[in-house]
A = this chain, B = another copy of it.
């Protein structure tokens, strides 16, 4: 189906990544480019400039999602979309999300180099606030776009300083006029793996068929505040002690399931009143657990639930459990997975099928358009860390797969 095998320009791709790596540089080698910050604006401006220079029309919706379209020969047809994000974690790397957007741009630039037209347009998308580091939840732009989250509640979400998403969008000039929601013929996303499978196996291309079963739990641990000195141990209801028992037990569960790649994580903790002379009356704790296998996932859930109950009993506190985000049961579209597999074969690229351990914008878009993802290796799977690293030569095969698959789909 691929008329001519196309190849991206690796040097240009790298140069674009290096330009991006200057905007919000953090701890020498990393990035702190929080969603809708001044740095994010600077990067968005650069992306828009690049897209326009490459002949794209640029539209921005009310959520700040940016759509850069290279027109097709038949404007009546929905485009093939390629997207990811340009925001980073607080101590983030240079490639998480960014590689996907810039590979999308590289698809457009390569087609320009070759003077090729496609039947359907190709739309390169930057989604707003994938990381959730400033505004929670993550994947906010794509989720509201896909109708998974209500638009108004997303716009009203505040950061720690009380600034809403809506205000932050206004401030950087990225509250656009385009309607939220549009039609795609297909959606493809390239992303660094953020796990070490490809790196360890020496494989450069992962074709992602879906996600690990993942469940976040938001725990509210209610005790009673009291004096750190005189209160007898048996009388205490220290919410932080409840949290400690949960954290220890949940990590033990993760270690017990590590052999077949189960994961547990305790991440965010907030304690009140959080003073040295007084123990805590309330602690909020976020945990999550993930497994590739649905049955093992169920077993983890049972162990986590039991650990929470045991911690509550031992610490003499009450623990309310609210289910947070979950994903991973969905599969990507067979037609898109097949397209990636057949294209990889035609390009002679070794690949492995895999499931994503992280959340991605593609999960939201998959609810409204045929979707699949390409993973490329990152050094030892290190991510959400300034030391995130890739090798260009191991990233180019994935970029070429994206290019050729997108063109094939755009010409159908």
Contacts and interface: CB of A to CB of B under 8 A. Distances in A.
A357 interface: yes
A36 B138 CA distance: 40
Contacts of A214: 229
A238 to B, nearest CB: 7
Chain copies in the assembly? 2
Contacts of A380: 235
A400 interface: no
A226 B251 CA distance: 15
A281 interface: yes
A244 B246 contact: yes
Interface in A236-271: 238, 240-241, 243-248, 251, 254-255, 258, 261-271
B278 A384 contact: yes
A234 B246 contact: no
B275 A268 contact: yes
Interface residues of A, number: 76
A193 interface: yes
A276 interface: yes
A245 B247 CA distance: 7
A147 to B, nearest CB: 22
Contacts of A194: 227, 229-231
Max count, chain B CB within 10 A of own CB: residue among A131, A261, A383, A384: A384
Contact of A232 (B196, B231, B271, B356): B196
A359 B278 CA distance: 12
A371 interface: no
Nearest to A195: B230
Nearest to A270: B274
A89 B230 contact: no
A229 B271 contact: no
Contacts of A262: 233
A23 interface: no
Interface string A171-199: 00000000000000000000001111000
A276 B286 contact: yes
Contacts of A91: 225, 273, 278, 281
A90 B273 contact: yes
Given A89-B273, A225-B385, A233-B262, 12 more contacts: A132-B277, A133-B273, A228-B384, A232-B381, A233-B264, A235-B380, A241-B266, A245-B248, A265-B279, A268-B271, A268-B274, A277-B384
Contacts of A382: 226, 231
A77 to B, nearest CB: 35
B251 A131 contact: no
Contacts of A195: 227, 229-232
A127 interface: no
Interface string A341-372: 00000000000000011110000000000000
6 contacts: A225-B385, A227-B358, A228-B265, A251-B315, A267-B277, A267-B279
A26 to B, nearest CB: 12
A145 interface: no
A321 B101 CA distance: 44
Contact of A251 (B230, B244, B251): B244
A204 interface: no
